[in-house]
Amino acid sequence: MAGARGRRPAFPSRRAELRRVGEWACLLEVESLEAAHAAYATLRSLDLGGVRDLVAGARSVLVVFAETPDESALRAIESATDPRELRVEPGRTHEIAVRYGGSDLDDVARRAGLARNEVVRRHAEATYRVAFLGFQPGFAYLDGLPAELHTPRRATPRPCIPAGSVAIGGEWTGVYPAEGPGGWNLIGSTDAVLFDPSRDAPCLFAPGDLVRFRIA
């Protein structure tokens, strides 16, 4: 049932399962992106001894230890992430100015059966949530793309996409932090610096943050 006085359980009937992944890691599996973010935030706030990395996934949090963990470390993770107790903390909100008009905007519009302007309007009107990071440093998968804008990845990835390209890949949208190869559909570009290893916070986006795009 409900947790301590004044606390509002966010996921009253949901399951969480902790499984060992090899000798030095375990994977906490939950049933939603929101539960994954809540568990990730909770585990980050704990001082779990000997943890080398915490990685948020779409339905999971991976905990990597520096050495083989003992049973008490695993029990501490389980008790801290009881789904009845997890709460969603609001993340930061980012507004990103985008010059729409990338080389695949016409393709996305054609697939959606919409005018270019309408694709731009719908992409810029939605609010996105940072689901998880991956692919390259600072690359965030943004959840919340309107269904009509879902566009399959290109059959052949481009060898070189400029840094700051705003793109759509399947159900996700995102911004390429650095120049490099990629298979997503390019619909615009931004001057925002998503990743800079010399900054105190190298990565602009963290799992759970909200992102809005503004037409520049």
Partner 1 sequence: MRALCVRRPGARTTVEDLGRADAARHGIPPGGAFDGIALRAANRLVGNRDDAAGLELTLLGPELENAGDETILAALAGAPWGLELLRAGEALPLEVARPFAIGPGERLRLGAARGGLRGWLAVAGGVDVPLVLGSRATCAAGRFGGIGGRALVAGDLLPIGAVEGSPASVGWRDPFARTDDVPCLALLPGPQVDRFAADLLERLCAAPWEVDAASDRVGIRLRPRDGASPLEGGHGIPPEGTTLGAIQVPPDGAPIVLGPDRPVTGGYAKPALVARAHLGLLASLRPGDVLRFAQATLERAVALARERLDALPPR
d(CA 172, CA 136): 15
Rule CB under 8 A: choose which of 60, 165, 185, 189 binds partner 1.
60
- C-beta of 107 vs 135, nearer to partner 1: 135
d(CA 93, CA 95): 7
- The pair of structure tokens assigned to 8 is 């509002």
d(CA 13, CA 35): 12
For 134-164, where are the E strands, in sequence order? 140-143, 158-161
Answer yes or no whether residue 22 interacts with partner 1 by CB under 8 A.
yes
58: amino acid identity, one letter = A
- C-beta of 23 vs 159, nearer to partner 1: 23
Query: How many other β-carbons are positioned within 10 Å of the β-carbon of residue 58?
Result: 14
- C-beta of 38 vs 120, nearer to partner 1: 38
Question: Would you call 69 helix, strand, or coil by DSSP?
Answer: coil
- C-beta of 36 vs 86, nearer to partner 1: 36
- C-beta of 3 vs 180, nearer to partner 1: 180
In the shown chain, the binding pattern of residues 145 to 184 toward partner 1, with x for contact by CB under 8 A and - for none, equals ---------------------------------x-x----
Rule CB under 8 A: choose which of 146, 202, 214, 216 binds partner 1.
202
Residue 30: CB minimum distance to partner 1, A? 10
Decide if 170 contacts 152 (C-beta within 8 A).
Answer: yes
Answer yes or no whether residue 192 interacts with partner 1 by CB under 8 A.
no
Residue 180 buriedness (CB in 10 A; 0-12 / 13-18 / 19+): middle
User: How big is the chain, counted in residues?
Assistant: 216
Answer yes or no whether residue 137 interacts with partner 1 by CB under 8 A.
yes
Site of interaction with partner 1 (CB under 8 A): 19-25, 27, 29, 52-62, 64, 66, 68, 132-141, 178, 180, 195, 197-198, 202-203, 206-207
